Amino acid sequence: MLLGVDDRASRSDIVDAHRRLIVRVHPDRGGTESLVHEANAARDLLLAELGGRNKE
């Protein structure tokens, strides 16, 4: 639950949560590239799952 969204999150919920997380973990703010990659992977996974749910 890296992004902190629930199972019913919309695309905008996911994107907003990702944006908030990136602000906290970005290397310019003391985070690491690894954390940014994790956040991006979580966003991509959730958006892909969301796409699959919308097609059902």
Write out pLDDT tens, residues 39-55: 999 999 999 999 877 65
Cα separation of 51 and 28, whole Å? 32
CA–centroid distance for 52 within its chain = 16
What per-residue confidence (pLDDT) applies to 51?
84
What per-residue confidence (pLDDT) applies to 33?
97
Residue 5 burial (C-beta neighbours within 10 Å; 0-12, 13-18, 19+): middle
Whether the pTM exceeds 0.95: the reply is no
Instruction: Considering only the C-alpha atoms of the chain, give the largest distance between any 2 of them, rounded to a whole number of Å.
Output: 41
